[in-house]
Structure 1
Amino acid sequence: MTRPPDPSRAASGDDAPAPPRERTEPAPSTTAPASTPASGPGLAPAATPPTTARDRAKAERRAALLAAAARLFAERGFDGVTLGDIGEAAGVSGPAVYRHVASKQALLGAILVDVSERLLTGGRAVAAAHLPPESATPSPSTPAGTPIEPTPTRCVAEDARGPARTASGSLAALVDFHVAFALAEADVIRVQDRDLDRLAPDDRRTVRLLQNAYVAVWTDAMAAESPDAETPAERRVRALACFGLINSTPHSVRGVPTSRVRPTLTRMALAALTA
């Protein structure tokens, strides 16, 4: 998922938004949701859904390896885990591990690229679903091809120190989505925060591109809400600050029920976003 991208790199070639790569791997039947990437450097490709019992068993073993890797990387760090440890945790012994993955680094790349893709895809879907109905269709007088500016619905915010800033329906929905995602992906967030720099260069670039595209989903929603209130750089600062609050919390609150953490974290993130 998203460790806030370094704003100082925003102008570099690595930070230009790019569409996520398509994934065709079926969702694993067990364990963590971070274990579903389809392919990557050093990984066996998964071009089509498995149709035979042998194919299904292979896909399940591969998913188990990715889930075990995410869990162990979170617990011990990248350098504290071997491929043998991951294979043992996944029930895949000895040389059989190398039938599914070439290296630890390939596993790390598969985990972090996948979670970044799912975050971007989910964020875009949330933003699109919360556009008001009137913004979805141009009026008869609107020339074909003219970009449609959504008219956001307002749902939040008070500030006793001055004029209230509000969060639109799409921004509030994005906060709710990101909080739920972060709580479900606490291990992967921890891995990304600690081990992002251990990725192979191509995977690191891909993750950065996906992250910046996700930031753009948020800044576009802010711009639609208040087009003249801030510069693009200021909107980016607000988005990254909100991510930092949300992402830093889940792995620190283990033992507290999600039903208690989620509403509190959502309110705090909305307050930070609208400050």
Structure 2
Amino acid sequence: MTTDQVNEPGAERPMTRRGRAKAARRAGLLEAAAEQISAKGFTAVRLEDIAAAAGISGPGMYRHFSSKSELLDELLIDISRRLYEGGEQVVARCGVAQADPAATMRALIEFHIDVLVTKPDLIAVQDRDLSSLSAAANHEVRSLQRRYVERWVDVLVGVGRAQDGTPIDRDEARVRVHAVFGLLNSSPRLPDHPRDRLRRLLVSMAGSALLAPPGNAL
């Protein structure tokens, strides 16, 4: 690669060793913050507590985040963006591969559950502390969440019918998706269960709930 290629406009410059170290520390702080806030609640946690959990000094924390609110904003924007962008990638990949709404729906469920079981602290914080976001972050998170829900609704409308053949229109699909998110997002509060078995159980329950007949099955 020539010097001109390295310096051409828009080219991504490789991160320096110092830059990589700073990014790693920041990622460690975010992980510690998610764990601390999930366990204690946003109002009860201090920046110094998070710094101690991440193994850095209290003053060192302020080189990365100016306030606890800024840290929460980044945490919840990040998880909301991760879900939305990941969902878009699932739909794009499945659409190219098979154009099968039912298979795409299952892939979306599996993706969402994979995030839940690997990032339970973040899901718990999002569920409980959304109201503590700044106004700008709240707007961005809500926008990402709505777009993510609507992508699920698109796919469920594509499936078209419940298990008993009852048609599912867009309004009902949105209700079903929100109900399933309530089910899935409660998983961080479930009793301990082997991860693989929990994943299979949640995939099965979510798929059944999305396509459940509207009548009383009991």
* TM-score when normalising by structure 2: 0.84
Q: Residue 85 of structure 1 aligns with which residue?
A: 49
> Retained in 2: the 8 A contact 1:187–1:251?
no
Q: Say if 2:199 is the partner of 1:262.
A: yes
| Structure 2: distance between partners of 1:114 and 1:126 | 18
Higher helix share: 2
Q: Say if 2:214 is the partner of 1:250.
A: no
Q: Say if 2:10 is the partner of 1:52.
A: no
Identify unmatched segments of 5+ residues in structure 1.
1-47, 135-149, 154-167
State the shift of 1:262 in Å. Answer: 0.7
Q: Which amino acid aligns with 2:71?
A: L
Q: Say if 2:196 is the partner of 1:232.
A: no
Relative distance call for 1:183 and 1:133 in structure 2 (3 A) is closer
Matches within 5 A, 1:41-190: 51-131=15-95, 133=97, 150=99, 152=100, 168-190=102-124
Match of 1:100, SS state, is coil
Q: Say if 2:203 is the partner of 1:203.
A: no
Q: 1:192 aligns with which of 95, 119, 126?
A: 126
Relative distance call for 1:132 and 1:216 in structure 2 (3 A) is same
Q: Output the aligned Cα RMSD.
A: 1.9
Q: Which amino acid aligns with 2:136?
A: D
| Structure 1: distance between partners of 2:189 and 2:144 | 23
Q: Which amino acid aligns with 1:92?
A: I
| Structure 2: distance between partners of 1:191 and 1:49 | 34
| Structure 2: distance between partners of 1:231 and 1:252 | 32
| Structure 2: distance between partners of 1:133 and 1:92 | 46
* TM-score when normalising by structure 1: 0.67
Q: Deviations over 1:234-255 (max 9, x none)?
A: 111011111111111233233x
Identify unmatched segments of 5+ residues in structure 2.
1-11, 213-218
| Structure 2: distance between partners of 1:50 and 1:93 | 28
Q: Determine which structure has greater relative contact order: mean sequence separation of CA pairs < 8 Å that are 6+ residues apart, divided by chain length.
A: 1
| Structure 2: distance between partners of 1:132 and 1:94 | 49
Q: Residue 8 of structure 2 aligns with which residue?
A: none
Match of 2:197, SS state, is helix
Match of 2:95, SS state, is coil
| Structure 1: distance between partners of 2:111 and 2:23 | 28
Structure 1: 4+ residue segments shifted above 3 A: none
Relative distance call for 1:174 and 1:199 in structure 2 (3 A) is same
Q: Which amino acid aligns with 1:86?
A: I
> Retained in 1: the 8 A contact 2:124–2:188?
no
Q: How many residues matched?
A: 197
Q: Residue 6 of structure 2 aligns with which residue?
A: none
State the shift of 1:176 in Å. Answer: 1.2
State the shift of 1:233 in Å. Answer: 1.8
Relative distance call for 1:133 and 1:58 in structure 2 (3 A) is closer
State the shift of 1:80 in Å. Answer: 1.2
State the shift of 1:132 in Å. Answer: 5.8
| Structure 1: distance between partners of 2:109 and 2:13 | 33
Relative distance call for 1:50 and 1:196 in structure 2 (3 A) is farther
| Structure 2: distance between partners of 1:49 and 1:213 | 32
> Retained in 2: the 8 A contact 1:65–1:87?
yes
State the shift of 1:173 in Å. Answer: 1.0
State the shift of 1:75 in Å. Answer: 0.5
